[in-house]
């Protein structure tokens, strides 16, 4: 019967194209925007219960169809017997192993909304489990599979149609408090975790864990299923929640880990009194410990991510990372419950580490120029996912004793074999205050030191996100190099992975030392004989866009072209436009009307809009109108200012994109406009 359902469903989608692996046209071994969009994007890696197989998804995109699709794959942990188990014109996602290792639960849009399904590990016998209005966001079965929790949207607040039923087509939203928008949406629903029984492939007696509460779990806009966890005995669900609304929510990052007792329905706050972000709980296999990621200070979203554990028998909390001046993320327990694997970035590369519960000893396992983002134990080996500036995510097995890595997935082997990547060089530059700063330099393929190349200064966003070995499908540094630009990417002040002092210097110092760091980086490279110092460009997004706007008024004719995407232009306006008040309060020091606040006043005195009178260099402005973090009015104001000043300028506006550019054809348009602008002024 299940197979009949599958056949019928696929038959109804005959006109929908099957988006699979793309075969791009590659000329002269050079990356192009079209080649970039042809890479398969590996995600959702899951190790089977017996540690012998790996389940994962790959997303493919069609530029012609202007959309993407994801498919599911299974392989052995040595990389053998790789099998694509779905091949449909519909999306399959969030796939997870069932405890028998013979079945897989997953979400599918087969019936229009994302619903929970189960199938055999070879892709056969698909059976639909849920049929909920609005669909399911994600899910997890209890260890014995007698119960299930899933995340679904519930109505938030009073809608206009609730107040005025005779105006069902009115689109206006009545707002009475803060936090009425999130990233790219008006908040009319919030995610809640539901728990239910599970028997004979059916759910029964579902209960909203947060019933009647106007809170969200997982937390928007980026939280996922990692913010919830089952205890090994199936009696407790740990969930992450910031139990605040409105103005209080907008001003605070104080989330907590709550335990929900499935049998009694009672809830207990396990991190009460811990004031920063507490999130991503995970129980030890023996049920004696809870580990989670914890920040210390309320309102500081870039605080150190500490690795905390809770002794579930005594209630004692322990910070395992006290003497570790790095972040700890992607926590994963060893099967013996005696240690935890995690990933951490130091000096702009991200490695796998292990910490012992008893001795708090932290050991680095991997080495190399790359970033790991996931780790899990699989019998006598580890399974990890990593990328670099020269290679997108792939799955690897790692020897936990030696750190030796073996690639398993090879999803993009054929494309990478046809491309020549530019050399990535680690360089340390002396700053204006005599510190040493790591700068990545990416050279064009077939680099000739006897030639002179136009050179781009890359300004990172965040502002507190590392310029590590990241791979981007928009800000791809190898694509820039393939267009015969040298790229200079500094880890300026305010970035993690260089210690607390380096990270926190930027708070309240926008327009300060970190801008001097940019000058130090580009000035050092401009001295090289192969850099054309008369053809320097400056590019960046978000805080990087702010950096471009600020540098445009202070660069003393260093640069010949600027490009800013989703950047902050008017800081007083940004203070009132963003939805996350904790961010601007911490980073800018407070409100612009607080004249007695010296830190805040210094921040606003460095607002780029105050220095437009010094703009003299061509600038391209890009912004998305669905960007509710930094509103498009910021980009429009910058563009208008340039035009009114007589500065050559262009604007690319996306009515349907947010802080990123997610649609394939918009992505291609972004890249073409990007390089047409830079080539016009730098070549």
CA atoms lying within 13 Å on the CB side of residue 550: 27
Kindly state the DSSP code that residue 474 receives in the 8-state scheme. Answer: S
Q: Are residues 539 and 579 in the same domain?
A: yes
Rounded Cα–Cα distance for residues 340 and 307 (Å): 9
Residue 98 to residues 3, 78, 101, 284, 525, Cα–Cα distance (Å) = 19, 21, 6, 19, 54
- Which contiguous run of DSSP H or E holds residue 523? helix 513-526
Question: Residue 190: CB partners within 8 Å, gap ≥ 6?
Answer: 153, 154, 156, 214, 215, 216, 220
Last residue of a domain, one of 130, 161, 196: 130
Instruction: Give the pLDDT of residue 16.
Output: 65
What pLDDT sits at residue 1?
28
399 and 271 in a common domain: no
Q: Give a three-class secondary structure readout of 188-240.
A: CEEEEEEEEEEECCEEEEEEECCCCCCCCCCCCCCCCHHHEEECCCCCEEEEE
Range of the domain at 343: 320-412
Q: What is the side-by-side strand order in the sheet with 278-283? A: 278-283, 289-294, 306-311, 317-319
State pLDDT tens for residues 199-245.
999 999 999 999 999 999 999 999 999 999 999 999 999 999 999 99
The residue among 130, 163, 180 that closes a domain is: 130
The domain tally of the chain equals 4
**Strand ranges for 575-676 from DSSP E:** 619-624, 649-654
Q: How confident is the model at residue 462 (pLDDT cuts 50, 70, 90)?
A: very high
- In terms of domains, do 403 and 509 share one? no
The residue-averaged pLDDT of 423-447 equals 98
pLDDT at 20 over 90: no
Predicted pLDDT of residue 11: 35
Which backbone phi and psi does 492 adopt, to 5 degrees?
A: -70, 175
Res. 6 pLDDT band, cuts 50 70 90: very low
- Residue 7: pLDDT above 50? no
Task: Give the span between the Cα atoms of 42 and 125, in whole angstroms.
Answer: 25
Cis-peptide, bond into residue 463, ω within 30° of zero: yes
Residue where the block lists tokens 């909203």: 208
Question: pTM here?
Answer: 0.95
271 with 161, same domain: the answer is: yes
In this model, does residue 336 exceed pLDDT 70?
A: yes
Looking up tokens 């437009």, which residue turns up?
Answer: 612
Q: Let me know if 542 is a catalytic residue.
A: yes
pLDDT at position 15: 54
CATH of the domain at 124: 2.120.10.30
Q: Which tens digit of pLDDT belongs to each residue from 123-154? A: 999 999 999 999 999 999 999 999 999 999 99
171 pLDDT above the threshold of 80: yes
Reduced to 3 states, what is the DSSP secondary structure of residue 241? strand
pLDDT of residue 4: 30
Share of the chain above pLDDT 90, in %: 96
Same domain, 166 and 294: yes
If asked whether residues 311 and 334 sit together in one domain, one would say no
Q: What is the 3-state secondary structure (H, E, C) of 93-159?
A: EEEEECCCCCEEEEEECCCCCCEEEEEECCCCCCEECCCCCCCCCEEEECCCCCEEEEEEEEECCCC
Token pair in block for residue 510: 């926008």
| Residue 613 and residue 663 in one domain | yes
Percent with pLDDT over 70 in the chain: 98
Element at 372 (helix H, strand E): strand 371-378
Quickly tell me which residue has 């980009």 as its tokens: 635
Q: How far apart are CA 402 and CA 60, in angstroms?
A: 34
Radius of gyration of the chain (CA): 25
Q: 231, 262 in Cβ contact below 8 A?
A: no
Both 514 and 661 in one domain: the answer is yes
- pLDDT score at 13: 41
Question: Where residue 640 sits, what CATH number does that domain have?
Answer: 3.40.50.1820
Question: Could you report the per-residue pLDDT of 544-571, keeping only the tens digit for each?
Answer: 999 999 999 999 999 999 999 999 999 9
Residue 67, classed as helix, strand or coil, is strand
Rounded-to-integer distance, Cα 204 and Cα 241, Å: 25
- For the chain, helix, strand, coil in percent to 5 are 20, 35, 45
Give the model's confidence band at 3: pLDDT under 50 very low, under 70 low, under 90 confident, else very high.
very low
Q: What is the pLDDT of residues 488-513, one digit of tens each?
A: 999 999 999 999 999 999 999 999 99
Tokens for 62? 């069609």
Does one domain contain both 400 and 500? Answer: no
Q: What is the average per-residue pLDDT within 160-185?
A: 94
Last residue of a domain, one of 297, 319, 341: 319
Give the number of other CB atoms < 10 A from CB of residue 446. Answer: 12
Pairing of strands 531-541, 453-459: parallel
Active site residue 627: yes
The residues near 322 (Cβ < 8 Å, ≥ 6 apart) are 360
Catalytic one of 370, 555, 609, 659 = 659
Same domain? For 1 and 91 the reply is: yes
- In sequence order, the β-bridge partners of residue 232 are none
Summary mean pLDDT of the chain: 96
Whether the Cβ atoms of residue 538 and residue 615 lie closer than 8 Å to each other: no
Q: Residue 61: pLDDT band by 50, 70, 90 thresholds?
A: very high
How many Cβ atoms are within 10 Å of 494's Cβ, its own excluded? 26
Residue 646, number of CB atoms within 10 A of its CB: 9
Q: Is the domain of 329 the same as that of 308? A: no
Assess whether 353 and 436 both reside in one domain: no
Which one of the listed residues 231, 468, 542, 607 is annotated catalytic?
542
Catalytic-role residue among 278, 484, 509, 627: 627
- Work out the number of other CB atoms within 10 angstroms of the CB of residue 457: 28
Written as one string, the DSSP assignment of 547-560 is HHHHHHTTSTT--S
Q: What count of Cα atoms within 13 Å lies in the side-chain half-sphere of residue 581?
A: 16
Per-residue confidence at 251, pLDDT binned at 50, 70, 90? very high
Give 678: exposed, middle or buried? Use CB within 10 Å, 0-12, 13-18, 19+.
buried
């Amino acid at each position: 019967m299940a197979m009949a359902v599958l056949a019928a469903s696929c038959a109804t989608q005959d006109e929908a194209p099957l988006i699979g692996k793309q075969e791009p046209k590659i000329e002269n071994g050079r990356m192009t925007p079209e080649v970039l969009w042809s890479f398969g994007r590996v995600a959702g890696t899951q190790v089977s219960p017996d540690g012998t197989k790996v389940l994962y998804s790959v997303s493919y995109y069609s530029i012609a169809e202007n959309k993407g699709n994801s498919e599911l794959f299974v392989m052995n942990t040595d990389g053998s017997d790789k099998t694509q188990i779905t091949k449909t014109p519909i999306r399959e996602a969030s796939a997870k192993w069932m405890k028998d290792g013979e079945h897989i639960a997953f979400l599918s849009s087969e019936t229009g909304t994302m619903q929970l399904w189960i199938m055999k590990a070879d892709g056969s016998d698909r059976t639909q489990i849920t049929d909920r209005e609005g669909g399911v966001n994600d899910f997890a079965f209890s260890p014995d599979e007698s119960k299930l929790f899933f995340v679904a949207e519930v109505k938030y607040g009073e809608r206009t149609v609730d107040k005025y039923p005779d105006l069902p087509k009115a689109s206006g939203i009545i707002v009475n408090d803060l936090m009425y928008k999130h990233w790219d949406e008006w908040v009319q629903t919030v995610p809640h975790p539901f728990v239910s029984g599970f028997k004979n492939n059916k759910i029964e007696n579902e209960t909203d864990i947060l019933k009647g509460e106007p809170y969200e779990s997982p937390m928007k806009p980026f939280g996922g299923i990692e913010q919830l966890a089952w205890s090994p005995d199936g009696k407790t669900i740990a969930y992450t929640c910031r139990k605040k609304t409105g103005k209080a929510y907008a001003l605070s990052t104080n989330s907590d880990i709550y335990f929900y007792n499935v049998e009694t329905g009672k809830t207990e706050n396990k991190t009460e009194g811990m004031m920063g972000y507490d999130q991503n709980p995970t129980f030890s296999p023996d049920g004696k410990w809870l580990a989670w990621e914890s920040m210390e200070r309320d309102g500081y979203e870039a605080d150190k991510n500490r690795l905390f554990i809770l002794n579930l028998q005594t209630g004692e909390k322990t910070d395992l990372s006290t003497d570790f001046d790095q972040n700890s993320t992607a926590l994963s327990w060893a099967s013996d419950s005696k240690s935890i694997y995690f990933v951490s970035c130091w000096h702009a590369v991200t490695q796998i580490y292990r910490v012992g519960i008893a001795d708090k000893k932290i050991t680095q396992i991997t080495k190399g120029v790359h970033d790991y983002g996931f780790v899990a134990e699989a019998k006598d080996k580890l399974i990890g996912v990593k990328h670099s500036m020269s290679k997108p995510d792939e799955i690897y097995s790692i020897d936990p004793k030696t750190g030796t890595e073996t690639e398993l997935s090879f999803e993009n082997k054929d494309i990478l074999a046809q491309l020549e990547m530019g050399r990535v060089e680690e360089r340390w530059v002396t700053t204006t205050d005599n510190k040493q700063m790591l700068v990545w330099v990416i050279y064009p393929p077939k680099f000739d030191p006897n030639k002179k190349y136009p050179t781009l200064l890359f300004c990172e966003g965040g502002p507190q996100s590392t310029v590590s070995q990241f791979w981007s499908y928009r800000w791809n540094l190898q694509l820039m190099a393939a267009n015969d630009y040298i790229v200079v990417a500094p880890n300026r002040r305010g970035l993690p992975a260089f210690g607390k002092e380096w990270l926190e210097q930027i708070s309240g110092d926008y327009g300060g030392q970190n801008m001097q760091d940019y000058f130090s980086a580009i000035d050092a490279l401009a001295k090289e004989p192969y850099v054309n110092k008369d053809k320097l460009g400056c590019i960046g997004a978000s805080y990087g866009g702010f950096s471009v706007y600020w540098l445009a008024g202070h660069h003393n004719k260093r640069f010949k072209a600027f490009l800013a995407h989703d950047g902050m232009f008017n800081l007083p306006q940004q203070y009132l436009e963003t939805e996350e008040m904790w961010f601007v309060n911490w980073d800018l020091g407070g409100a612009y009307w607080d004249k007695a606040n010296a830190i805040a006043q210094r921040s606003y005195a460095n607002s780029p809009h105050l220095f437009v009178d010094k703009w003299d260099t061509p600038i391209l402005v890009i912004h998305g109108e669905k960007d509710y973090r930094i509103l498009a009015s910021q980009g429009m104001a910058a563009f208008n200012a340039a035009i009114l000043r007589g500065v050559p300028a262009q604007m690319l506006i996306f009515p349907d994109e947010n802080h990123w550019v997610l649609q394939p054809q918009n992505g291609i348009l972004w890249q073409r406009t990007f390089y047409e602008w830079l080539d016009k002024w730098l070549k």
